[in-house]
Amino acid sequence: MKRSRYLPVVMLLVLLSLVLIGCNADDDDKPGDDASSNADAPAKVTLDFSGSGTMVNILKAVEAEFEAANPNTDLNILDGTGTSAAIEGVFAGTLDVVGASREPRDTELEQGLLYTPFGFSGVGFIVHPDVEVEGLASEQVVGILSGEITNWAEVGGQDLPIVLYVRDEEDSATGALRDLLFGDAAFAETTTAVLTSAGDMVTVVEGTPGSFGFGTWSGIVARGADVKPLKLNGVLPQEFGYAITQPLGFGYLQATQADVQPLLDWFASEQGQTRLVELGVVVLQN
């Protein structure tokens, strides 16, 4: 039988077609070329956060650990505006979550605010590290705040004038102090300054010999402040049974709850609870 002279050419063309089909199949299997794989990847969420100075300091202290455990969530921590102003920001849509140093008011809950508490912080009385006093009784604190006690020698310390600093009346720590200890009495006329931020309080107490001030203890710890906390009736502000505390929690709306949930879950986790205790928070689980 006579062999066709075109057969080798046909076989060569078939072979080349098979090679090209195989190459195309390999290309289709390359990572990154599947559009559906990108579509299925979870979108990264940025949470705009503000609130009380205490809560801002706590979030800054744990930001890296939270984001490492939740790679799809970024925290955008804005300057502290205070609890009330931050709640208004949540209602206005400029914030996703507020860090509150007080429980929400009925009017805020009626507007749709959801609230998740995670612990308490003592309102700590802080002094310059060189003050030779470790603790005070409630009546001694009242005496200092009212101006009846003006020298550390009167409460067992060295002969050194007490330099008194207080917070403004809008501050949540001031509110807790008045509700649970000091009432409506006026602060001493000899008060050196009325301060409007937790940062200012820490700065002046750190740098002023003989100074006495107060603030939310967990926020002070989160700042790494070089101040000394005083025991109140024998109890430190980070211990159970401390007399003056304020609640700590998160406020948000139903529309953003799914985005906020990783933050709530991390604060309730073992890792989050451990860090909160290190920051002087009395956690709810305990």
Asked whether residue 196 falls in the same domain as residue 141, the answer is yes
pLDDT score, position 82: 87
Q: What is the pLDDT of residue 207?
A: 96
Query: Are 212 and 249 contained in the same domain?
Result: no
Give the CATH number of the domain where residue 210 resides: 3.40.190.10
Query: Cα 251–257–259 angle (5° rounding)?
Result: 110
pTM exceeding 0.85? no
The verdict on 112 and 143 lying in the same domain is no
Q: Is residue 14 part of a domain?
A: no
Amino acid occupying residue 77: I
User: Burial of 163 by CB count in 10 Å (0-12 exposed, 13-18 middle, 19+ buried)?
Assistant: buried
Whether residue 195 sits in one domain with residue 167? yes
Instruction: Give me the amino acid identity at 264.
Output: L
Q: Taking a C-beta distance cutoff of 8 angstroms, is the pair 191, 146 a contact? A: no
For the four alpha carbons of 80, 86, 90 and 93, in that order, the dihedral sign comes to negative
The reply to whether 142 and 182 lie within a common domain is: yes
- In the DSSP assignment, the letter for residue 44 is P
* Contacts of 11 by beta carbon, 8 Å cutoff, 6+ apart: none
Residues 179 and 205 in one domain: yes
140 and 200 share one domain: yes
Number of other CB atoms surrounding residue 72 within 10 Å: 11
Instruction: Give the count of alpha carbons within 13 A of 245, CB side only.
Output: 19
Contact 47, 260 (CB under 8 A): yes
> Residue 78 is inside which H or E element, if any?
none
Q: Are residues 213 and 271 in the same domain?
A: no
E strand intervals along the chain:
45-51, 73-77, 97-100, 114-127, 135-136, 163-167, 193-195, 211-216, 228-229, 231-232, 245-252, 282-283
Instruction: Evaluate the CA torsion angle 122, 127, 131, 137 in order and state its sign.
Output: negative
Under-50 pLDDT residues of the chain: 1-37, 286
Q: Is residue 198 part of a domain?
A: yes
Beta strands 245-252 and 97-100 are: antiparallel
Query: Are 140 and 103 within one domain?
Result: no
d(CA 283, CA 115): 16
The tally of domains found in the chain comes to 2
8 within a domain of the structure (yes/no): no
**CA torsion, ordered 238, 65, 103, 87, to nearest 10 deg:** 140
Q: According to the model, what pLDDT value does residue 251 have?
A: 98
Q: What is the pLDDT of residue 8?
A: 46
> Does any domain span residue 168?
yes
Question: Do 221 and 251 share a domain, yes or no?
Answer: no
Residue span of the structural domain in which 196 resides: 122-232
Q: What is the pLDDT of residue 172?
A: 87
Contact (CB, 8 A) for 220 and 86 = no
- Say if residue 133 is in the same domain as residue 157: yes
Residue in the structure block whose two tokens are 């005496």: 143
- Answer whether 216's CB lies under 8 Å from 246's CB: yes
